[in-house]
Structure 1
Amino acid sequence: MSLIPLAPTFTAPQIDWVPLLPVIIVLGGAVVGVLIEAFAPVRNRRTINIVWSLLVVAAALVLASGQWIRTFAEATVIGEYVNDTWTVALQIITALLGLLALLVIADRSELKDGAFAAQPSDRPGSGEESLSLAKGYQRSEFFPLVLFSIGGMMLFPATDSLLTMFVALEVMSLPLYILVASSRRRRNISQEAGIKYFILGSFSSAFFLMGSALLYGFSGGSLRLGAIAAAVPAVSGMDWILLAGVFMVMVGLLFKVAAFPFHEWTPDVYTGAPTPITGFMAAGVKVAAFGALLRFYISVAGHLKWDFALIFALLAAATVIFGTLGGLVQGNIKRLLAYSSVAHAGFLLIGVLALVPTSAGSTAFYLLTYGIATIGAFAVVGLVRAQSPEGAIGGEANEVSQWAGLGRRSPALAFAMLIFLLSFAGIPLTAGFVGKFVVFAAGIQGGLGWLVGISLGASVITAAVYFRVVQVMFFREPAEGVTVVRSEGTAGVAIAITTALTILLGIFPAPVIDFLNQITVLIP
């Protein structure tokens, strides 16, 4: 009697692909962008990649916006992907900021000199680099790299697993390491910034992975946030593993948001990176990292409030203080905005730590207003350039003293920068004021009044920092050896949009706040 082996049975998984479409389109668009770079004619590669990248991110923005009503009615979990209103709201914000950042990244001056090296692989100062510049050669692979990073940003706060979160973190970060090191000018400083960002980013990833391993052991073999949270009250005798794991994961996330004492990379990287990438990184990474940070804190770390609440609140206070004091002594506009970014990370931590019903909505609104103003501000920085006595246009004029008289030289550009600086300072009738108001209100409601008091005092000091730049722009004679370049116009479009949004969100914030206050963070 012969035995006939039974055919193996396989049940195909039922996957709802619709909620995943925004991420799929961005990452798939990045792959197509690589193929465009490989096969499109050399003369047309840049134009094709610009148009394609803008279409991809615009499509992701439309699809993410269309998900809101469906997700608001019913939040779902697809494998390790959490499709809740927190995910959708941050994907909308990320896609909007990515679209604005791409307009700045795509811009070139009247000399056709973009912010990126002709070929990033050329050794700085070498004959190969001189030949690439002389021939007007310009690689455009940074557009698919930006799309890959945006895809990682959209996935990072949407995951319910520390493993998937780490993969998203690397998809977001690895392209940025390359982009930071690809500046057209000051190539040595740019490559140094890329190396610093890569090395310190690797350390933060190591902390994140070690913390994930400890939490895996504590939970009994799961990396899902829900399973870890469920194990917190159920498992006894392993508190040290839980505390060490949570702290290490938080260290990895706090590095990405540039919180004290993990902020030291920020000034050097912001200064050395191509200015459009600095704006993209400062805005987009903050949205993604705070998205993941808030999800992890609400799901897991918040259960250890008695152990960690004061520690993280003190870190938030130190972040605000060091960011504020660091900005006071800066003479370089990019370093000034870098320390401003550190201070804003401290303000945002208030929204995360508050743990009140409006925490998520308040944090999302602050991320939106800060991201819009940041992309606009760095777009302005990229247009203020040094000029030789013979009239040759050089690199960016990043010293604050070189911005003297910008209000007379280019009133429209100076007005836009004024709006962005007022928003950073939290002056009424700007989006930044409303963002600080809602986050500070959540902090007071969550029992963090002392931290809000420190932040209010720091806001007054940072206002003095920003008004020093305003005074230089509008109340001094124009500096010699500086000019505002004419460009292809895409950066001007981004500056106009970000200026308008900063004003509109400051005067009419209610619809957006009401929209974002409907956010709920699902804990599976």
Structure 2
Amino acid sequence: MIDKISWITVYPEIVLLVMGCVIALVDLGVKSQRRTATYVLTLLTLAVVAALQASYAVGQTTLYGFGNMIVSDPMGNWLKCFATIAVMVTLVYGRPYSADRGMLRGGEIFTLSIFSLLGMFAMISGNNFLIIYMGLELLTLSSYALVALRRDNATASEAAMKYFVLGAMASGFLLYGISMMYGATGSLDITEVAKAIASGHVNHQVLVFGLVFVVAGLAFKLGVVPFHMWIPDVYQGAPTSITLMIAGAPELAAFALAIRLLVEGMLPLAFDWQQMLVVLSIGSLLIGNLAAVAQSNLKRMLAYSTISQMGFVLLGLLSGVVNGDIAGTQNAYSSAMFYIVTYVLTTLAAFGVILLLAREGFESEEISDLAGLNERSPLYAAVMAICLFSMAGIPPMVGFYAKLSVLQALVSSGQGFSIGLAVFAVMMSLVGAFYYLRVVKVMYFDSPITASTVSAPFDVRAVLSVNGALVLILGIVPGGLMTLCAQAIVLTLGT
């Protein structure tokens, strides 16, 4: 018999699942071209779920349910809350764009978004390999359908096929790695796997072999080199509203997946997986920044930017354990969590501006399309500039403190190699500043290619203004979010 605590751990997931089905049925009777009723019901559902997750997170309790297969802890609850808000913001930004391109003929975009979020929840809360894999598949299958939602567009169909083929390969890597872990430890429960590895009575070679495949699967979900090639093609080929759906909330789930598998499940193998993360982070910082310099397509540039930003997240993850000493884990992993949360916040605003500038028959994807934006709309140019400065790590934007916290975690390890990595990361950030500032130059100093003013619905303007302001405000007073991340990691690892 399932106890009461088990049900408490999955109340938000139950609400999502039930409402996803209800919204799909309600949409059958909606006649509006913009699916107003479906849209409002979806946002109300997500708002309730976000409030539920926030209340769980504030309670600072850790609960295990369904035979330890599900865990509800502060880190997971905050990440699920932020992921829900990210999906809400994505739908607000993407609705006018999707309507202009015939993507709202049915309500699939809303139901698929809810089910992809449900997959993220399973990835974040999974304390069992099978639950995590089930969540991963629910997220990826929903994402494939979303990318292909613009059925009459050959570019979107091509992007969906590339995403599907490479995603299937990455899922195979992760599943094979999990099967090796099961073979070595005899358990699918992450807690039991950690105990088995710590006991030292398992074959180390089999563990490391499985670990290689697990890290490869994680690297694909994070989009780091050399598993990055799907990102530029999918970002560019997918409808921009769907690009944001892939670029935002799923990164939070991928981070949680890394914490669950590598930190909670395989911390005794930290020496092995940290070496792999070093190679992945160096490659991501180098290739991501250098390739972005050569791009003229804004979405493709932001794709390579994402690759380099994920390299920074890996720097935080790899600096936790030093020569077997786990004293620095909380500082390192909280800096990585702070980085991923602020990255998603900034990405939402940047793509929000791109979506806002797009109109029927015009995508606004090239960097040159932003020429003279300051003359046409000073507010939207300012929001975009704030986001670009943040991604470049220029104070007082929140991206500066995100980079600083990761670098501080690296340097505080006291290892010469870690300090060298920090210097390399700073040098790559200088390269990155070039292509970010190039876009700012185009917006403020180039002549506009059109005299048309930029207009948007009230909800889009309001959310975008708040989004842009948060990137600046959290940079001026980052302490609250930093403390939240630190407490979440401390309470989660403490259990």
TM range (shorter): over 0.9
Structure-2 change in CA distance of 1:218 and 1:467 (3 Å):
same
Structure-2 change in CA distance of 1:359 and 1:82 (3 Å):
farther
> What's 1:451 paired with?
421
Q: Give TM-score, length-normalised by structure 2.
A: 0.92
Shift of residue 394, structure 1, vs aligned partner? 2.0
Structure-2 change in CA distance of 1:484 and 1:316 (3 Å):
farther
> What's 1:298 paired with?
263
5+ residue gaps in structure 2? 321-328
Partner Cα separation in structure 1 for residue 72 and residue 2 of structure 2: 21
Partner Cα separation in structure 2 for residue 115 and residue 95 of structure 1: 25
1:470 aligns with 2:440: yes
> What's 2:63 paired with?
76
Partner Cα separation in structure 2 for residue 298 and residue 189 of structure 1: 39
Structure-2 change in CA distance of 1:68 and 1:30 (3 Å):
same
Which of 244, 267, 280 is equivalent to 2:245?
280
Aligned residues of 1:86 and 1:360 also touching (Cα < 8 A): no
> What's 2:324 paired with?
none
Shift of residue 17, structure 1, vs aligned partner? 2.4
Instruction: Report SS of the residue matched to 2:484.
Output: helix
Shift of residue 505, structure 1, vs aligned partner? 0.4
> What's 1:508 paired with?
477
1:353 aligns with 2:353: no
Shift of residue 235, structure 1, vs aligned partner? 5.0
Shift of residue 44, structure 1, vs aligned partner? 7.7
Shift of residue 45, structure 1, vs aligned partner? 8.0
> What's 2:86 paired with?
97
Hey, which of these two has a bigger chunk of helix by percent? Answer: 2
1:491 aligns with 2:456: no
Aligned residues of 1:116 and 1:274 also touching (Cα < 8 A): no
Partner Cα separation in structure 1 for residue 32 and residue 364 of structure 2: 31
Instruction: Report SS of the residue matched to 2:433.
Output: helix
2:16 alignment partner AA: V
Partner Cα separation in structure 1 for residue 279 and residue 254 of structure 2: 19
> What's 1:363 paired with?
336
> What's 1:131 paired with?
none
Structure-2 change in CA distance of 1:198 and 1:523 (3 Å):
farther
Q: Residues 196-251 of structure 1: CA distance to partner in whole angstroms, max 9, x if unpaired?
A: 1111110011111111111111112x111111111114354622221111111111
Instruction: Report SS of the residue matched to 2:170.
Output: helix
Q: Indicate the structure (1 or 2) with the bigger Cα radius of gyration.
A: 1
Aligned residues of 1:383 and 1:396 also touching (Cα < 8 A): no
* Number of matched pairs: 480
Q: Residues 229-282 of structure 1: CA distance to partner in whole angstroms, max 9, x if unpaired?
A: 111143546222211111111111110100110000000100111112212211
Which of 42, 45, 48 is equivalent to 1:56?
45
Partner Cα separation in structure 2 for residue 342 and residue 409 of structure 1: 31
Aligned residues of 2:262 and 2:270 also touching (Cα < 8 A): no
Structure-2 change in CA distance of 1:444 and 1:483 (3 Å):
farther
Q: Give TM-score, length-normalised by structure 1.
A: 0.87
Aligned residues of 1:416 and 1:499 also touching (Cα < 8 A): yes
Aligned residues of 1:403 and 1:473 also touching (Cα < 8 A): yes
> What's 1:130 paired with?
none
> What's 2:348 paired with?
375
1:157 aligns with 2:130: no
Which of 431, 434, 459 is equivalent to 1:461?
431
Instruction: Report SS of the residue matched to 2:487.
Output: coil
Instruction: Report SS of the residue matched to 1:42.
Output: coil
Shift of residue 401, structure 1, vs aligned partner? 1.9
> What's 2:10 paired with?
20
2:176 alignment partner AA: M
Partner Cα separation in structure 2 for residue 436 and residue 77 of structure 1: 34
Partner Cα separation in structure 1 for residue 393 and residue 434 of structure 2: 12
Aligned residues of 1:369 and 1:431 also touching (Cα < 8 A): yes
Please give the residue correspondences for 1:156-195 in structure 2 after superposition, counting only pairs within 5 Å: 156-183=123-150, 187-195=153-161
Partner Cα separation in structure 1 for residue 430 and residue 85 of structure 2: 30
Structure-2 change in CA distance of 1:50 and 1:233 (3 Å):
same
Structure-2 change in CA distance of 1:153 and 1:484 (3 Å):
farther
Structure-2 change in CA distance of 1:235 and 1:115 (3 Å):
farther
Which of 168, 173, 176 is equivalent to 1:202?
168
1:384 aligns with 2:373: no
Aligned residues of 2:9 and 2:71 also touching (Cα < 8 A): no
> What's 2:233 paired with?
268
Aligned residues of 2:390 and 2:398 also touching (Cα < 8 A): yes
Instruction: Report SS of the residue matched to 1:199.
Output: helix
Q: Residues 443-502 of structure 1: CA distance to partner in whole angstroms, max 9, x if unpaired?
A: 22344222222111111111111000111111111124x745533333322311210110
Partner Cα separation in structure 1 for residue 452 and residue 168 of structure 2: 39
1:474 alignment partner AA: Y
Which of 373, 396, 399 is equivalent to 1:432?
399
Q: Residues 342-388 of structure 1: CA distance to partner in whole angstroms, max 9, x if unpaired?
A: 000100111212222123322222122111111111111123247xx
Partner Cα separation in structure 2 for residue 208 and residue 202 of structure 1: 10
Q: Residues 20-69 of structure 1: CA distance to partner in whole angstroms, max 9, x if unpaired?
A: 2222222222121211223x243388111101110111111111111123
Aligned residues of 1:299 and 1:523 also touching (Cα < 8 A): no
Aligned residues of 1:324 and 1:461 also touching (Cα < 8 A): yes
Structure-2 change in CA distance of 1:115 and 1:325 (3 Å):
farther
> What's 1:410 paired with?
377
Which is further off, 469-478 or 510-519? 510-519
Shift of residue 146, structure 1, vs aligned partner? 0.5
